[in-house]
Amino acid sequence: MRINHILSCSLVLLIVLCPVLAVSTSKIDTVRGKETVTDSDTAVIQQFLSDAFSEFYEKTDFSDVAALRNTIVSKSTSSLESGQIQYGPRFFTIAQKEFSDTLKQVNGLPDGQRKTLLTINLLILANDLGNLEISKSALDYLQNSNIIMRYWATNCLSNAAILSQLNYDSAENRQLADDIVKRFSANIKTEQSGDILAIIAQFASGLKRPAANDLLTEIAQKRIDLYMGWKVNDEMTDTLILKALIDRTTTDADSSKVMTKNFSILYSVIIQRYAMGDQLSETNKSSLVSVITQSEKLLTKFIPDWQGSLKRAIEKGGGTGLLAEHDSLFGSASAAGKLPAAAGFDYGKNPDGSARTAPPTLPKPSTEKKAEKK
């Protein structure tokens, strides 16, 4: 997952340089090597986690916080596959309480760098542990003003481990999954980070709940609206969003027409932006080329004989050649395109009731936007 510049720069603060840890790991490593976990072994797990989270909270020099996180995560599983059946549940039952207690302590700190960095590190820890009960704590940080906090909170609730747990069919998991979708949906309306939108899109693509379809449609429409208004500066994000739309057609076959239509319109405005974007920076143009060429590989799911016509058109200079390939793929006012024909969708209805065969046309950028060329 690509992290944008502001996230990359800020996360430098969390890098381990010279870790110095006080918590002992010898006893818990002995427990991790057992097939059967006794009450006395549970006490060892309790002591390890108590010491680890106490040390976590007491940090004032953050150069080794990441190392402490990694130590906790590394001790969350038994070193024996047969031992994990007993070890795992005991570890996470204790970890849930220690995590919750530490988060309450951190929330009680005065606002400042220490509180911010401890909170971010706790969210990263929750993400790395991949435990649904622990990750629930991230719900309170999804709309935080700090972008790094929002980024990790979103990750906590959408990573592969959490997705797998939510997809385990139970009434409780179905309810929680729908609750998370609702929270994500609310965030989409105000979220400005393309990276965070891409995380949510990837989560929605694999979630086995009908509500995920609406979530992906909201993300696609938001990106389409940004393109239509010439307000996009993070085009690379859409590589992941386009893939999520196509992946969704496998997770939920009934969504195929809607997801492919969303894919088609978003991909169309991306190509139109490149073809019309003389005023764009070289960075924007390069990003658009990457998105177009990488996403073209997704077309073979619906058009098996598609052989990279968009890439070849770009290599020949783009322009009218690229737009001709665009019309052939997506459709024009006079003819349906290959993708709508293959996937079985149209772009809505004309006033006379006939099907629209062309995707929306990207308006020309305003004079003011042209003046913003870097």
Question: Is the pTM above the cut of 0.75?
Answer: yes
> Who's near 353: CB < 8 A, 6+ residues apart?
none
**Structure confidence at residue 319 (pLDDT):** 85
Taking CA atoms, 116 is separated from 1, 7, 53, 225, in Å, by 23, 14, 16, 33
**Structure confidence at residue 21 (pLDDT):** 60
pLDDT of 155 > 70? The answer is yes
**Structure confidence at residue 283 (pLDDT):** 95
User: What does the pLDDT look like over 192-250, one tens digit per residue?
Assistant: 999 999 999 999 999 999 999 999 999 999 999 999 999 999 999 999 999 999 999 99
User: What does the pLDDT look like over 334-369, one tens digit per residue?
Assistant: 999 999 999 999 999 989 999 999 999 999 987 544
pLDDT category of residue 169 using cuts at 50, 70 and 90: confident
b/e code 20-37 from CB counts within 10 Å (16+ = b): eeebebeebeebbebeeb
Q: Which of 18-22, 179-183, 260-264 has the lowest mean pLDDT?
A: 18-22
**Structure confidence at residue 191 (pLDDT):** 95
